[in-house]
């Protein structure tokens, strides 16, 4: 069984530091677990990791993914129809951990699938699956303390989520709670929306996050193309791509691997 041990509990910190030394932003790739079923999902996830992901964001399928756009919503429908459960997702994560010992895996999900069981039980399962970080998009600071602290006791980092509409005082609280990285939502919309990387408002927003965060800052939502990645890489520690990877995975594992490689190359600063 895959587990976190003393030598691997800081995979996220090690990866961000390594990317900084290499003068590149970390490529954080999202894919929905069990899309379209466990075995095909495992094949696609392996292809993405082999293509050069620095961090894997593994999505837990949920029936009401309010933060996600149509591409990821459809992926979650396919996954749920194939019988996806939290236990199944963690089994898949454990298989990935056994194959990619040093790759950070962040579990991305909604509160409902996680909080149906006692928190102590859930975080033990996460640790046993080799999960490095937890991002729960609909669990605000007022309600995340018990899960966040229980995860921390198991060596699992908490990823904070800020949006352009987050008031400064609330953003400060989110950033103070974050231990893995701060995920800056790049726009006021759902995943897969159009993003203008030349927007002065976006640059001001990113500057604010990087100035106040005590952890690495990653930016996501609406990032699809290598040109966008090249524009953002000098400004942040990490870049999150989701919907575009899901689209590539629908074509073939080879297309997914190639897309990840293209985006990873674009993360190099100064190219």
Please state, in angstroms and as integers, the Cα–Cα distance from residue 116 to each residue in 21, 134, 146, following that order.
Answer: 41, 16, 14
Query: How would DSSP label each residue in 190-207?
Result: -TT----TT-HHHHHHHH
Active-site positions read 57, 68
Please state, in angstroms and as integers, the Cα–Cα distance from residue 86 to each residue in 62, 94, 110, 207, 251, following that order.
Answer: 10, 12, 11, 36, 26
* CA pair distance 264, 258, nearest whole angstrom: 10
Check pLDDT > 60 for residue 186: yes
pLDDT confidence of residue 110: 95
The CA R_g of the chain, rounded to the nearest whole Å, is: 17
Q: SS3 of 171, please?
A: helix
* 35 within a domain of the structure (yes/no): yes
* 135 within a domain of the structure (yes/no): yes
* 270 within a domain of the structure (yes/no): no
* 1 within a domain of the structure (yes/no): no
Check pLDDT > 60 for residue 115: yes
CATH no. for residue 135? 3.20.20.70
* CA pair distance 238, 267, nearest whole angstrom: 8
pLDDT above 90 covers what percent of the chain?
Answer: 87
* 232 within a domain of the structure (yes/no): yes
Structural domains counted in the chain: 1
* 71 within a domain of the structure (yes/no): yes
* 271 within a domain of the structure (yes/no): no
Q: For residue range 137-175, what is the model confidence (pLDDT) as tens digits?
A: 999 999 999 999 999 999 999 999 999 999 999 999 999
Mean pLDDT for the chain overall: 93
Range name among 77-91, 136-150, 186-200 with the lowest pLDDT average: 186-200
Of the two residues 141 and 198, the one the predictor is more confident about is: 141
pLDDT band at 189, cuts 50/70/90? low
* 3 within a domain of the structure (yes/no): no
**Beta bridge partners of residue 218, listed in sequence order:** 183, 238
Q: For residue range 219-247, what is the model confidence (pLDDT) as tens digits?
A: 999 899 999 999 999 999 999 999 999 99
Check pLDDT > 60 for residue 196: yes
Contact yes or no for 239/220 (Cβ under 8 A): yes
pLDDT confidence of residue 8: 40
What residue numbers bound the domain in which 68 lies?
11-265
pLDDT confidence of residue 195: 77
Contact yes or no for 148/158 (Cβ under 8 A): yes
Of the two residues 4 and 1, the one the predictor is more confident about is: 4
Check pLDDT > 70 for residue 270: yes
């Amino acid at each position: 069984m895959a587990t976190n041990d003393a030598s691997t509990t800081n995979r996220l910190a090690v990866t961000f530091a390594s990317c900084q030394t290499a003068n590149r932003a970390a490529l954080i790739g999202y894919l929905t677990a069990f899309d379209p079923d466990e075995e095909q999902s495992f094949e696609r996830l392996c292809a993405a990791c082999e293509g050069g992901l620095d961090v894997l964001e593994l999505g837990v399928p949920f029936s009401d993914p309010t933060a996600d756009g149509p591409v990821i919503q459809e992926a979650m429908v396919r996954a749920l129809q194939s019988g996806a459960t939290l236990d199944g997702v963690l089994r898949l994560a454990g298989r990935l951990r056994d194959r990619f010992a040093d790759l950070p895996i962040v579990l991305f999900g909604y509160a409902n699938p996680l909080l149906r069981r006692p928190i102590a039980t859930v975080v033990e399962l996460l640790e046993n699956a080799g999960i490095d970080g937890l991002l729960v998009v609909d669990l605000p600071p007022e309600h995340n303390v018990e899960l966040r602290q229980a995860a921390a006791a198991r060596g699992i980092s908490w990823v904070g989520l800020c949006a352009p509409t987050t008031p400064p005082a609330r953003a400060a609280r989110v950033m103070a709670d974050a231990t893995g990285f701060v995920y800056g939502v790049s726009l006021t919309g759902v995943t897969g929306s159009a993003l203008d990387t030349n927007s002065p408002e976006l640059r001001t927003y990113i500057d604010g996050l990087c100035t106040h965060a005590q952890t690495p800052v990653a930016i996501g939502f609406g990032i699809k193309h290598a040109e966008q990645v090249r524009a953002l890489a000098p400004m942040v520690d990490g870049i999150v791509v989701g919907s575009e990877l899901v689209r590539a995975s629908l074509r073939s594992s080879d297309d997914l691997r190639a897309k990840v490689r293209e985006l990873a190359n674009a993360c190099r600063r100064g190219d």
